[in-house]
Chains A and B, each alone.
Chain A
Amino acid sequence: MARYRSLRDLDWTLLIIALIICSLGVLQIYSATHDTKWRNAWWKQIVWILIGLGIMWVATSIDYHTLLSQVPVLYAISIVALIATFAVGDVVFHSRRWITIFGFTFQTSEFEKIVIILMLARYLSELKREELGIRDLLKLGGLVGIPTALVMYQPDLGTGLTYLPILAAGVLMAGLRWRYLAAVAIACALILPVGWHFLKDYQRARLITFLDPSRDPRGAGYQVIQSKIAVGSGGMWGRGVTHGTQTQLRFLPVPHTDFIMSAFAEEHGFVGVVVVLGLYFLLLMQVVQNAQTASDRAGMYICMGVATLLLFHLLVNVGMAVGMMPVTGIPLPLMSSGGSSTFSVFMMLGLVNNVRLRRFGS
């Protein structure tokens, strides 16, 4: 532990890709908000990113084994924070998600992700067997289920749902007759979209409205329709920064947060989308590579937890922009405007670096 580790050892590829994505996000936030009441959002985002880099450094510096040893404490604190949010949180869009501490508002559910990743890494790495037993499953289900239920009850269905893939990925990595489970997962993955297509339009609309009615005040499907029009009108090359009419004239809802990908697609076109998705893919693979090179299982589980979470966010948020996923209101990592989300992503990248720095053992 005392061994000196230089900045050179950081995962610079990961960091540079992340910062490029962040700057595209800042540019898009500026374009979407430059003549609205959120016109300060772009430089606020820069501040969040800078603070995020600081948080990342902290998350890198403390040995992840130390963090893992404190998991019971972290978990207890996080549950208390979620309950406190529910009790004294600020109501925005009919939902209590934020808690104000020292004048800053935090979305406690964002930080819960980190706790769940660490908790799973600790539990799974302490397993003495190559396969999970039914008791392990029940325990893990309970441990993840409590915060999930609390967050869904805020209500914030989208964020609550993001905890489950971490659990699923962790369990699959640990090996729970995983061949069978993979078969089940593939079957589910196939059935869900197919089933979605067999639903009638109004049933889909109802389903979306049922899943999250507070996000849809102007009628079921309005946001999705506007988002698809925004994406489609971008065409191959896009309409140019600050020239997307869907974004600039506010037909597109929340173009600097949840629908930032639609705004980006309108103004930068298919080419821009391929570039930014390519960057995300490289980022993801970089995280996965750190999982592969981790010195122990705990590090591997941490990196895979982060990778899974990022992949799920991308799938749901970007899929929502093109109408392939229901509107659930989860942010696009690194691009969407917002402090809590940015902090939690940088914290996760910090954990990945943490694992990387200690890949030769400590």
Chain B
Amino acid sequence: MQADRERVNLPDSSTQLFHDDTKFALDRIAVFQYLSVGIFLFLICGFWVLQVRDHAANSEMAERNRIKTVPLLAPRGKILDRDGRVIVDNHSAYTVMLTRENLKSEHVQSIADGLNLDPDDLRIRLRRYESRPKYIPVMIKQELSPGELAFVESHRDPETFPEMELIQNQRRLYPHGGLAAHVIGYVGEISEQELNLPEFAKYSQGDVIGKFGLERQYNDTLIGIDGQRRVVVDSMGREREVLESKEATPGHNLQLTLDLDLQAVAELSMENRRGAVVALDPRSGEVLAMVSRPAFDPNAFAIRIRAQDWKELTSNPYNPLMNRAIQAQFAPGSTFKPIVALAGLESGSIDDHFSVHCGGGATFYGRYFKCWIKGAHGAVELHRGIVQSCDVYFYNVGNKTGIDSIAEYAQMAGLGKKTGVDFDLPGEAEGLVPSPKWKLRTQREKWCAGETISVAIGHGAVTVTPIQLASAIGGVASGGVWYRPHLVKGAAVPEPRRGNLHADNIAKVISGMYGVVNEGGTGASAAIPGLQLCGKTGSAQRASNALVKSGRVGREMKDNAWFVGFAPRENPEIVVAVLFENGEHGNLAAPIARDVIKAYFDKKTRLARPSQPQLALFQRPQVPN
């Protein structure tokens, strides 16, 4: 420095226009140097704070920037019929998710518009996720329409809505027209309330679970295990590297005892009618068909049902969400008579020669009870009593047998309590078999003898569900063996209940039921040539006779029509119970059962035909003998 300064002061030889001496500025230059030192220290401090003091926090942010977790949604198991045919399938769909790390609140409105979502709903949805880690994306819409898919594809670039992310997943595809809708149920996104239940502890927000029917009951079987991919992404959201990939494990398939052929026939025959059809194999308790009408379309539930659709379903007076096959409890009417007859025979209060005269009605305990027939049946014994469904005959049987015996045998047949199908389908109703004990317990009143007369023809307090009726009659027809009705093929079923019934008594009742269909009885419309179909019609009042006469009864109060039938007569293979609400007479329910039973035997005959193997393109489904 010293040397330099000396040099500066050397005399100048050049032409100098102005006073030229830089010495005056030396202290000002020193100020500049100090200022430089200060600025450099200031900058180094800045780096020290970020790189040394806050290094850990910044490293974590860098990691979160680049690593993204993409869920791989596992497809649910398929639901198959007894022959392995697909009832419920999956189809691939696109789901759009929002990554919340780069979500801009001002984008929500436009994204909702593009995806046809309610922006307020979307905001509420995003708010729900606020407590969860930021890297978990929010599923906002499943199964995009082509238009919505195009919207996502064209707007998820970094300049527009980089927070949108598209994933492909499997979605549930249910049969159209609500086929077996009540049995299968539906899936939906887990709700807030469900998330708080211990049953759903292992699920989290956004998971799709079974909500109703078998989908719910067998959710654990059907649901797969979602996988996930942890990927490195760049600022454009492009994947650069896969760090970890856990494949999704698909759910297990669920094979049902339902037969799609029978189910379809039953569904078709119930079209535009209210009621239920249950077809069971009395030899095993397998449910071959189960229909409840009106039905709903499970596809409408998709992931989240639209509020309007839900309102329509819940405000419908006919309650389409109710599974009438297991939940509708109505008086069985005359379909109860075989049980009463059996109770009479087994208790010894009557034999098959016991005969009464039907003059169109009879008086018991000071009250006149009418027979359903306008004229009179004349002399009626057991066989004719069942065939013609003579009320007067059964008033007498009931009166002689007594309520306790009737209740005993009704309960033995499985009436008045759950059949156990609720192992598969929750919410089964119990029905009711009244008895003096029951009346004392529930109404604190003594049993009136006159009530027995009503119960004897399936009225009064007695109620059954379609599945109870099918199971009860099927068990009786099988010689007093009742299997638990079930819907899952190959499921371990407990040992059947065995009733202590006399085979000849059963044969006498069945003979009557054969006559109902084949000897010009009330169920003649169910007859199938060449098939020993036995059955019993019933029509049960929903309103008192006085009310009906007053003419103020609408369609809703018309009698329910029942039919329960089985075939063949010996060792029955199928029993069908039909409830046709407001169908007025069992005669109208009988053809429905006939169609189902015919479909069963037609199929059996078809499959028994020798086939030409070289022409068989498909493996013949195996049907149990």
Whether B48 lies near A270 (C-beta < 8 A) is: yes
B6 to chain A, nearest CB (A): 10
Q: For the complex, what is the distance from the CA of A304 to the CA of B29, rounded to whole Å?
A: 8
> Which residue from chain A places its CB closest to the CB of B13 in the assembled complex?
A361
Q: Which residues of B contact A99 (CB under 8 A)?
A: none
1/0 per residue, CB under 8 A from B, across A212-254: the answer is 0000011100000010111111111000000001101111000
Considering only residues 267-281 of chain A, those with a C-beta below 8 Å from chain B are 269-270, 273-274, 277, 280-281
Whether B234 lies near A249 (C-beta < 8 A) is: yes
1/0 per residue, CB under 8 A from B, across A161-182: the answer is 0000000010011010010001
Whether B51 lies near A307 (C-beta < 8 A) is: no
Whether B7 lies near A359 (C-beta < 8 A) is: yes
One of B18-26, B184-192, B452-460 contacting the partner: B18-26
Q: For the complex, what is the distance from the CA of A132 to the CA of B79, rounded to whole Å?
A: 94
Q: Which residues of A contact B25 (CB under 8 A)?
A: 173, 291, 297, 300, 304
> Which residue from chain A places its CB closest to the CB of B17 in the assembled complex?
A126
Whether A270 lies near B52 (C-beta < 8 A) is: yes
Is A23's beta carbon under 8 Å from chain B?
no
CB < 8 Å neighbour of B36 from A226, A234, A248, A281: A281
Report if A324-B42 is in contact (Cβ < 8 Å); known contacts: A126-B17, A273-B51: yes
Is A265's beta carbon under 8 Å from chain B?
yes
A288 to chain B, nearest CB (A): 6
One of B57-65, B371-379, B494-502, B550-558 contacting the partner: B57-65
Q: Which residues of A contact B44 (CB under 8 A)?
A: 273-274, 277
CB < 8 Å neighbour of A361 from B12, B33, B59, B234: B12
Whether B4 lies near A236 (C-beta < 8 A) is: no
Is A62's beta carbon under 8 Å from chain B?
no
One of A12-20, A202-210, A310-318 contacting the partner: A310-318
1/0 per residue, CB under 8 A from A, across B232-254: the answer is 11111000100000000000000
Q: For the complex, what is the distance from the CA of A274 to the CA of B52, rounded to whole Å?
A: 12
Is B177's beta carbon under 8 Å from chain A?
no
Q: Which residues of B contact A130 (CB under 8 A)?
A: 24
Q: Which residues of B contact A125 (CB under 8 A)?
A: 18, 20
Q: Which residues of B contact A292 (CB under 8 A)?
A: 1, 4-5, 8, 22, 26, 29
Most buried by A among B17, B25, B49, B59: B25
> Which residue from chain B places its CB closest to the CB of A172 in the assembled complex?
B28
Is A360's beta carbon under 8 Å from chain B?
yes
Whether A362 lies near B14 (C-beta < 8 A) is: yes
> Which residue from chain B places its CB closest to the CB of A250 in the assembled complex?
B235
How many residues of A are in contact with the other chain, CB < 8 A?
67
Q: What bracket does the count of chain B residues touching chain A fall in?
A: 35 or more
Whether A296 lies near B22 (C-beta < 8 A) is: yes
Q: Which residues of A contact B47 (CB under 8 A)?
A: 231, 265, 270, 273-274, 322
Whether A235 lies near B52 (C-beta < 8 A) is: yes
B275 to chain A, nearest CB (A): 61
Q: Is the interface of B mostly helix, strand, loop or mixed?
A: helix
Q: For the complex, what is the distance from the CA of A319 to the CA of B50, rounded to whole Å?
A: 12
Q: For the complex, what is the distance from the CA of A125 to the CA of B62, rounded to whole Å?
A: 52
Is A200's beta carbon under 8 Å from chain B?
no
Is A128's beta carbon under 8 Å from chain B?
yes
Q: For the complex, what is the distance from the CA of A235 to the CA of B33, rounded to whole Å?
A: 29
Report if A182-B31 is in contact (Cβ < 8 Å); known contacts: A270-B52, A322-B43, A361-B10: yes
Q: For the complex, what is the distance from the CA of A81 to the CA of B316, rounded to whole Å?
A: 80
Report if A288-B29 is in contact (Cβ < 8 Å); known contacts: A245-B65, A314-B43: yes
Report if A311-B39 is in contact (Cβ < 8 Å); known contacts: A128-B19, A228-B58, A251-B66: yes
Number of A-B contacts (CB under 8 A): 177
Is B318's beta carbon under 8 Å from chain A?
no
> Which residue from chain B places its CB closest to the CB of A290 in the assembled complex?
B4
CB < 8 Å neighbour of B7 from A218, A296, A360: A360
Q: Which residues of A contact B158 (CB under 8 A)?
A: 218
Report if A300-B22 is in contact (Cβ < 8 Å); known contacts: A288-B29, A295-B12: yes
Q: Which residues of B contact A291 (CB under 8 A)?
A: 22, 25, 29
Whether A246 lies near B62 (C-beta < 8 A) is: yes
Q: Which residues of A contact B26 (CB under 8 A)?
A: 292
Whether B55 lies near A236 (C-beta < 8 A) is: yes
Q: For the complex, what is the distance from the CA of A166 to the CA of B298, rounded to whole Å?
A: 76
Is B113's beta carbon under 8 Å from chain A?
no
> Which residue from chain B places its CB closest to the CB of A219 in the assembled complex?
B104
Is B520's beta carbon under 8 Å from chain A?
no
Q: For the complex, what is the distance from the CA of A45 to the CA of B159, rounded to whole Å?
A: 29
Is A91's beta carbon under 8 Å from chain B?
no
Whether A265 lies near B21 (C-beta < 8 A) is: no
Whether A322 lies near B235 (C-beta < 8 A) is: no
Whether B52 lies near A169 (C-beta < 8 A) is: no
Q: Which residues of A contact B104 (CB under 8 A)?
A: 219
Q: Which residues of A contact B57 (CB under 8 A)?
A: 232
Q: For the complex, what is the distance from the CA of A218 to the CA of B162, rounded to whole Å?
A: 10
Is A345's beta carbon under 8 Å from chain B?
no
Whether B40 lies near A281 (C-beta < 8 A) is: yes
> Which residue from chain B places its CB closest to the CB of A311 in the assembled complex?
B36
Is B203's beta carbon under 8 Å from chain A?
no
Q: For the complex, what is the distance from the CA of A140 to the CA of B564, rounded to whole Å?
A: 110
Q: Which residues of A contact B159 (CB under 8 A)?
A: 217
Whether B36 lies near A265 (C-beta < 8 A) is: no
> Which residue from chain A places its CB closest to the CB of B53 in the assembled complex?
A232
A355 to chain B, nearest CB (A): 11
Is B352's beta carbon under 8 Å from chain A?
no
CB < 8 Å neighbour of A233 from B19, B62, B240: B62
B36 to chain A, nearest CB (A): 6
Is A155's beta carbon under 8 Å from chain B?
no
Is A323's beta carbon under 8 Å from chain B?
yes
Is B427's beta carbon under 8 Å from chain A?
no
Is A284's beta carbon under 8 Å from chain B?
yes
Whether B232 lies near A232 (C-beta < 8 A) is: no
A196 to chain B, nearest CB (A): 13
List 19 additional contacts besides A296-B12, A322-B43, A322-B49; criterion CB under 8 Å: A126-B17, A231-B47, A235-B55, A245-B62, A245-B65, A245-B66, A251-B66, A265-B51, A270-B47, A273-B44, A273-B51, A274-B44, A291-B25, A292-B4, A300-B25, A304-B32, A314-B39, A324-B42, A359-B7
Interface of A toward B, CB cutoff 8 Å: 125-128, 130, 169, 172-173, 175, 178, 182, 217-219, 226, 228-236, 245-246, 248-251, 265, 269-270, 273-274, 277, 280-281, 284-285, 288-289, 291-300, 304, 307-308, 311, 314-315, 318-319, 322-324, 359-362
A-B contact list, 16 entries, CB within 8 Å: A178-B28, A226-B65, A235-B52, A235-B59, A250-B236, A273-B47, A274-B44, A284-B36, A292-B5, A292-B26, A293-B8, A318-B43, A323-B46, A359-B8, A360-B10, A361-B10
Q: 6 nearest interchain CB pairs?
A: A232-B58, A322-B46, A233-B62, A249-B234, A232-B50, A270-B51
